[in-house]
């Protein structure tokens, strides 16, 4: 007779895993054309939390985010050192299969990048790429992903319509639905609201907060009010006169925005540091 062993709960599981590290960045540096762009960044992204990366333009926020998803792989001028641990393996290097990584770590870009074709085809692009063919399952997955992205009620009668017919805010939520359809564990978002109107921005913010219940999110944003509203943790990056980006401060959002430990952080949040 087979014996079913009781599952042993790991620390943080009772609270949705918020005490466990989903991604651990340690001593990470990035070089472009042999010039150092980011130096010695270290912080941990907790499971099922929202970590916002803030800082002025040109301080390496997007470069760091893309490094987590290995989007620099095809650029021979790009080089990464240090460690970005995910599932116990270092993403810096070739040990982690990129196709598998991008299934488990999804990415939503600054501008909605809908594909040619219908809403339905856009949502299911990833699952079909990974070989899913069961029509009944795909139909369920499409509806489920659109519901999670708070878009189903707006598009359920026009799934065969071109995705380009949607408004900017709808297109961004469609891109989020497309990311959710491959059932990732982590979602990276690069300025997901920067091209949207205030109403669409609030919808995306509400959606991000809801997604935290199931996913780990890392969000790059220039909007301090937005970061304060949605974040569990905040990483503040800044590039000094040498133009090398460094992590200035990392901590809980409540501490960073109310009582930052570093004077640079305080100035940036107050709007007196460009």
| All domains in the chain, ordered by first residue | 17-112+185-270 (3.40.50.300)
Count helices and strands in the chain by DSSP H and E runs: 11, 10
Look at the pTM and tell me if it is higher than 0.85: yes
When pLDDT is cut at 50, 70 and 90, the band that residue 236 belongs to is: very high
What percent of the chain shows pLDDT beyond 70? Answer: 93
When pLDDT is cut at 50, 70 and 90, the band that residue 274 belongs to is: low
| Arithmetic mean of pLDDT, 99-105 | 91
Task: Quote the pLDDT of residue 124.
Answer: 97
| Arithmetic mean of pLDDT, 214-240 | 95
Q: Distance between CA 38 and CA 59 in Å, rounded?
A: 8
pLDDT per residue over 174-203, tens digit each? 999 999 999 999 999 999 998 888 988 999
Q: Which long-range contacts (CB under 8 A, 24 or more apart) does 204-212 make?
A: 204/169, 204/172, 204/173, 204/176, 205/229, 205/230, 206/150, 207/149, 207/150, 207/173, 207/176, 208/50, 209/50, 210/150, 211/148, 211/176, 211/187, 212/48, 212/49, 212/50
> What number of CA atoms fall less than 13 Å from residue 141's CA on the CB side?
22
Task: Quote the pLDDT of residue 95.
Answer: 72
């Amino acid at each position: 007779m087979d014996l079913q062993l009781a599952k042993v709960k790991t620390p943080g599981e009772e609270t949705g895993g918020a005490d466990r590290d989903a991604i651990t960045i340690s001593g990470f540096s990035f070089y472009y054309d042999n010039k150092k762009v980011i130096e010695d960044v270290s912080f941990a992204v907790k499971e099922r939390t929202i970590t916002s990366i803030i800082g002025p333009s040109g301080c390496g926020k997007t470069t760091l985010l893309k490094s987590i998803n290995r989007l620099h792989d095809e650029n021979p001028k790009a080089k990464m050192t240090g460690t970005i641990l995910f599932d116990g393996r270092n993403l810096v290097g070739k040990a982690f299969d990129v196709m598998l990584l991008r299934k488990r770590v999804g990415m939503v870009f600054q501008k909605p990048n809908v594909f040619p074709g219908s809403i339905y085809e856009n949502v299911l692009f990833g699952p079909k790429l990974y070989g899913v063919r069961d029509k009944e399952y795909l139909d369920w997955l499409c509806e489920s992903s659109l519901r999670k992205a708070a878009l189903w009620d707006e598009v359920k009668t026009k799934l065969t319509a071109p995705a380009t017919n949607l408004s900017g805010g709808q297109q961004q939520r469609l891109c989020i639905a497309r990311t959710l359809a491959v059932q990732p564990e982590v979602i990276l978002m690069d300025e997901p609201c920067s091209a949207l109107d205030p109403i669409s921005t609030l919808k995306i913010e509400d959606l991000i907060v809801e997604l935290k219940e199931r996913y780990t999110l890392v969000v790059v944003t220039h909007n301090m009010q937005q970061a304060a509203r949605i974040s569990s943790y905040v990483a503040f990056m800044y590039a000094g006169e040498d133009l090398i980006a460094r992590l200035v401060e990392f901590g809980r959002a409540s501490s960073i925005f109310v009582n930052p430990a570093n004077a640079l952080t305080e100035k940036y949040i107050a709007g007196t540091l460009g």
